[in-house]
Amino acid sequence: MVKRVEIRQSVMAADERHARAIRKEMGRRSIVMLNLIGSPGAGKTTLLEATLRKASFRCAVIEGDVATSRDAERIAAAGAPVVQINTKGGCHLEAHLVAKALESLPLDEIDVLFVENVGNLVCPAEFDLGEDGKIAVSSVPEGADKPLKYPHLFHQALAVILTKADLKPHVAFDDALFWNDVTGLNPKAPRLEVASTRGEGIGDWISLVEMWLRSKGEGR
């Protein structure tokens, strides 16, 4: 077991070096890098599509999926530079995969890099990709009990976005339970509700990203 731990530590350390290098590069360029994490079907890609339609900042996207390039095709159709990473069974993105994907993106021409992680509320929360922050994306039809059942992501999230808010009339969703549990795990994270297909709440989300952009620009 000792050997297993040692080898795991060495693999993790190599990936942490990649994450540090990415964070340094994004800092030098004042690019805000956001790692979107949520369940399969939480609405991460639809949120990005709505963001690309409305934002005045320039975006690129890295799409992480177990298989298919369906999400990257949707992002490309929305007009942003995009790279698809297929993990071929892997349940999360790692920094070395992101470093490789960055080689194909026009970093001189963007303000914000969105990384859409593999649809998974557990594993991606464990891995630093060099991002400014992880964005927890949780949808109304998943139910209000998710924050406490998957606490690690919500605890560390830079912001929490509740998606598919337009479905509230059609499902039992306990708003107070959801947001109280988020508060318990992460009292200071900004929180947003959106209905991406209708564009509702997207303006507030874009304002939040613009605030991070200004902070990062000033920190340079």
* Residues in 154-183 at the binding interface with a second copy, rule: CB under 8 A: 164, 167, 170-172
Is-contact 209 34, C-beta < 8 A? yes
Query: At its nearest, how many Å lie between a second copy and the CB of residue 68?
Result: 5
Subset of 9-28 contacting a second copy (CB under 8 A): 11
| Number of residues lying near a second copy (CB under 8 A) | 39
User: How many whole angstroms separate alpha carbon 207 and alpha carbon 173?
Assistant: 27
Q: Is 149 in the site for a second copy (CB under 8 A)?
A: yes
58 binds a second copy (CB under 8 A): no
Backbone angles phi, psi at 10, to 5 degrees: -70, -40
**Residue among 66 and 206 whose Cβ is closer to a second copy:** 66
Look at residue 218 and give its three-state secondary structure.
helix
Q: Choose one: 35-43, 77-85, 101-109, 200-208; the region binding a second copy (CB under 8 A).
A: 35-43
Q: Tell the residue number behind the tokens 């959106």, with chain if given.
A: 194
Closest among 106, 99, 123, 126 to 115, alpha carbons compared: 99
- Position among 53, 91, 204, 211 found at the interface with a second copy (CB under 8 A): 91
Per residue, the 3-state secondary structure of 63-129, as one string, reads EEECCCCHHHHHHHHCCCCEEEEECCCCCCCCHHHHHHHHCCCCHHHCCEEEEECCCCCCHHHHCCC
Among 30, 96, 133, 141, binds a second copy (CB under 8 A): 141
Binding site for a second copy (CB under 8 A): 3-4, 7-8, 11, 39-41, 65-68, 70, 89, 91, 118-123, 126, 139, 141-143, 145-146, 148-152, 164, 167, 170-172, 197
